[in-house]
Amino acid sequence: MASLISCPHCGVRPKEEFSIRGDATPVRPAPMASDEAWNDYVHVRANPRGRIREHWQHVAGCRRWLVVERDNFTHDVFSVTDAAAGRGGAQ
C-alpha cells in the first residue's frame, strides 16, 4: 500500500506528490550569533529513529509548506499542519 499524506488543503494524497525539506525542529540563530552557532545550525543534525517533525512541500498540489509528524522507521504519519500556522501568518 502506498504511503498517504493528509494535506490540510488538498485532502489525502500519495507521498510522491510531496518533497521533503528536512527537520522542522532547529531554531535559527540570531543574525549576530557566533560562527559556531551558525555552523551547528547549518551542518549539525541529529538523526533520531522514531517520531520526528519534518518540513514537506506539496509540490504536485497546493505547493504549501507543511509540518509532517511521522515515524521515520515505520513511516506512520501522526499529524500534518500548515507550516505557516506555526509562524502565526499566512504563507
Q: Note the pLDDT of residue 85.
A: 85
First-residue to last-residue Cα distance in the chain: 32
Q: Which helix (H) or strand (E) holds 82?
A: strand 77-82
Domains observed in the chain:
4-82 (3.30.2270.10)
The full DSSP string for 5-60 is: EEETTTEEEEGGG-EEEEES-PPPPPTT--HHHHHHHHH-----SSEEEEEEE-TT
User: pTM of the entire structure?
Assistant: 0.82
Q: Note the pLDDT of residue 91.
A: 39
Q: What's the CA gap between 58 and 68, in Å, rounded?
A: 11
Q: Note the pLDDT of residue 87.
A: 60
Question: How do the pLDDT tens digits run along the chain, 91 residues long?
Answer: 468 999 999 999 999 999 999 899 889 999 999 999 999 999 998 889 999 999 999 999 999 999 999 999 999 999 999 999 866 444 3
